[in-house]
């Protein structure tokens, strides 16, 4: 440990901030100088003799480890710099230092500043983050500014108050930074003291240390606390929330609120904390956003990737409208042999097209003009409810209200599947159409579709969907039934011939080209070969699935299927036509390219015109 002795024969001139800062330096309660004043009425007979005082401060500099070779100075003018006339020293291999100096001031007020050079730190700056939240406070001076301990040039600096008893580390540095911000905001002295006490309490909570003063840990205690996690998380919050003005210590309160969950997310990522934060994880933005909202700091999401109330209004109108079904939607199915294009607007019109070696062909359907679309003609349907173990009516029960309330979690919406006890969760992703990501999506689409020529809305929405149970539905009291042979007593007795004879009793068996080994048959009216498979239904019944066995390569997930329950418990034995919505439908059958959008400026019509003119 090196000791340096300095003689200071002048009192450095202080700035206004330094003068205010000196109030708080000696102790947590706003200490003061103990310099004795001479009796003003005493007139010395001889010239005054200059009195000097010896001073000493010693301690340790610690960052992520004990710092050797750091320059440490007694910052007498409290300008957060080491001036040439200020006493200095250098830390030894254990991070220890000692500074001795002489001055004419008996109890000088000062800060401690340590500086050194080291490798520039790994960045925690997110790779892409757009801010759209309006500040909750109009005074931008209230917001803390991000100031890394080690800058991009590898220059490091830590500060400490006089009350920190020579210890210089990230926690002492944080308190000094916040103190300087409070002084810059011209907060009353009493409020500053309360806030400094609050900061100490918050740090105790973050460090899970209820009793000990966090600024006065021993070297061993400090290094064991993994304070780097607090530093990195707080620095990240200062970066990503830079456009939001907060009152003093609101970021620290936020960190205390999310700290444990944040650590869980980082540990689950298998990444270093720096790599995790630099990846701009959306899950972490959700955590921050939810906490900010709950604490009353924001009304709109701080991260543009998070769904806002306006975003939800758009997708709900497009996806969950009982009157129009899916609307304002563009889909592409890319297969090895053909590309299917679908566009739907909000007036019950749909454009369906195919792109193949023969070019682009399309047809527009106007379902609002289709026969049978008038109100009152729709058949009533019912679905199997796993909980009630019964068929529940789904159509016409409450036409103006959703069957179940929507549950919103982050960018996901969960709703009940009709009247069954199955649930569907839609997770939406917002895509900026000015981003490189969107350009890469468009570039991957077939050139003849000319999607790069379209002026897209600023934001497009895509989604993933998960359904937790199979759902079985049918036409109430009017579902189609097909009589089975009375000789069938066990499900194992079913054969292709029996199934075909039940479904097509008037067809010539020779025309149906029955293949028992492959479980296939040919339907001359449909012009395709079908295959049947036996499945287990949601209510425990056996179900026959009939699928197109002659579809083009790559179209297997998209072929239309028919389903029939097998009823062997009555007379006559029969097949009953049903709908079956399986859990894997969304994962296997939905288009690779599916996006919805805000149609307030008529973008659906622009899409119709684009594909009509190809």
CA–CA gap between residue 119 and residue 134 (Å, rounded): 37
At 551 the pLDDT is: 58
Residues 6+ apart with CB under 8 A from 77: 12, 13, 14, 15, 18, 83, 86
Per residue in 67-119, pLDDT tens?
A: 999 999 999 999 999 999 999 999 999 999 999 999 999 999 999 999 999 87
Dist CA 612 CA 568 (whole Å): 51
pLDDT of residue 508: 85
Band of the pLDDT at 488, cuts 50, 70, 90?
confident
H-helix segments, 60-130: none
Task: Report CA-CA distances (Å) from 316 to 321, 396, 465, 576, 602.
Answer: 7, 20, 14, 34, 18
Distance CA 201, CA 397 (A): 56
| Higher pLDDT pick, 69 / 356 | 69
Say yes or no to pLDDT of 467 above 80. yes
Least confident of 70-74, 279-283, 547-551, 575-579: 547-551
- The confidence score (pLDDT) of residue 90 equals 97
- Which distant-in-sequence residues (6+ apart) come within 8 Å of 79 by Cβ? 15, 18
Write down the mean pLDDT value for the chain.
83
Calculate the CA 71 to chain-centre distance.
42
For 302-327, write each residue's pLDDT tens digit: 999 999 999 999 999 998 766 556 78
Residue 142 has pLDDT above 50, yes or no: no
The tens digit of pLDDT for each residue in 575-597 reads: 999 988 888 777 665 567 889 99
**508: three-class secondary structure by DSSP:** coil
Instruction: Show me where the domains of the chain are located.
Output: 53-136+143-295, 323-370+402-469+590-613, 471-582
Strands 96-103 vs 53-60: parallel, antiparallel or unpaired: antiparallel
Report the Cα–Cα distance between both ends of the chain, in Å, rounded: 80
Q: Of 247, 232, 230, nearest to 144 (Cα)?
A: 247
Looking at residues 369-393, what average pLDDT do you find? 69
**Which position has the higher pLDDT, 385 or 10?**
385
Kindly list the distances between the CA atom of residue 263 and the CA atoms of 132, 226, 256, 401, 555, in Å, as whole numbers in the listed order: 26, 12, 11, 41, 44
Highest mean pLDDT: which of 39-53, 112-126, 134-148, 389-403?
112-126
């Amino acid at each position: 440990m090196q000791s340096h002795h300095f003689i200071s024969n002048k009192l450095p001139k202080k700035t206004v901030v330094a003068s205010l800062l000196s109030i708080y330096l000696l102790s947590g309660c706003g200490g003061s100088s103990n310099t004795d004043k001479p009796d003003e009425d005493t007139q010395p007979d001889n010239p005054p003799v200059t009195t000097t005082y010896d001073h000493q401060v010693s301690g340790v500099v610690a960052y992520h480890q004990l710092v050797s070779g750091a320059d440490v100075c007694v910052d007498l003018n409290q300008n957060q710099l080491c001036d040439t006339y200020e006493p200095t020293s250098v830390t030894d291999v254990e991070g220890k230092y000692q500074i001795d100096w002489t001055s004419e001031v008996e109890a000088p007020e000062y800060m401690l500043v340590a500086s050194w050079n080291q490798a520039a730190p790994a960045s925690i700056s997110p790779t892409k983050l757009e801010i759209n939240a309006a500040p909750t406070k109009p005074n931008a001076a209230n917001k803390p500014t991000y100031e890394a301990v080690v800058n991009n040039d590898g220059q490091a600096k830590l500060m400490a108050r006089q009350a920190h008893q020579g210890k210089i580390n990230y926690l002492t540095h944080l308190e000094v930074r916040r103190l300087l911000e409070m002084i810059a905001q011209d907060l009353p002295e009493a409020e500053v003291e309360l806030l400094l006490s609050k900061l100490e309490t918050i740090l105790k909570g973050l460090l899970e240390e209820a009793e000990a003063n966090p600024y006065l840990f021993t070297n061993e205690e400090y290094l064991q606390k993994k304070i780097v996690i607090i530093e990195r998380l707080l620095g990240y919050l200062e970066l990503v929330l830079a456009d939001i003005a907060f009152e003093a210590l609101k970021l620290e309160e936020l960190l205390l609120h999310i700290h444990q969950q944040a650590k869980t997310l980082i540990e689950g990522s298998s990444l270093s904390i720096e790599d995790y934060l630099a990846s701009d994880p959306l899950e972490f933005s959700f955590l921050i956003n939810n906490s900010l909202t709950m604490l009353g700091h924001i009304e709109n999401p701080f991260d543009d990737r998070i769904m806002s109330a306006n975003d939800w209004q758009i997708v709900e109108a497009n996806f969950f409208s009982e009157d129009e079904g899916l609307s304002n939607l563009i889909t592409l199915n890319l297969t090895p042999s053909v590309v299917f294009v679908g566009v739907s607007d909000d007036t019950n019109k749909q454009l369906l097209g195919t792109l193949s070696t023969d070019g682009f062909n399309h047809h527009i359907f106007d379902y609002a003009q289709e026969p049978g679309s008038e109100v009152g003609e729709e058949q009533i349907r019912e679905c199997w409810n796993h909980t009630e173990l019964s068929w529940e009516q789904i159509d016409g029960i409450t036409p103006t209200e959703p069957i179940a309330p929507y549950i919103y979690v982050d960018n996901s919406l969960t709703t009940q599947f009709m009247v069954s006890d199955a649930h569907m969760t839609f997770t939406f992703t917002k895509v900026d159409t000015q981003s490189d990501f969107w350009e890469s999506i468009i570039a991957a689409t077939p050139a003849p579709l000319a999607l790069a020529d379209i002026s897209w809305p600023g934001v497009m929405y895509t989604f993933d969907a998960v359904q937790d149970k199979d759902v079985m539905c049918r036409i109430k009291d009017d579902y189609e039934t097909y009589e089975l042979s009375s000789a069938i007593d066990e499900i194992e007795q079913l054969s292709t011939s029996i199934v075909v004879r039940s479904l097509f009793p008037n067809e010539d068996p020779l025309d149906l080209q029955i293949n028992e080994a492959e479980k296939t048959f040919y339907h001359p009216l449909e012009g395709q070969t079908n295959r049947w498979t036996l499945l287990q239904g949601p209510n425990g019944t056996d179900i026959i699935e009939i699928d197109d066995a002659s579809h083009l390569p790559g179209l297997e997930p998209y072929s239309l299927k028919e389903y029939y329950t097998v009823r062997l418990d009555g007379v006559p034995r029969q097949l009953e036509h049903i709908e079956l919505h399986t859990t894997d439908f969304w994962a296997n059958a939905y288009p690779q390219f599916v996006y919805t959008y805000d149609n307030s400026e008529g973008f659906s019509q622009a899409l119709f015109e684009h594909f009509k003119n190809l």
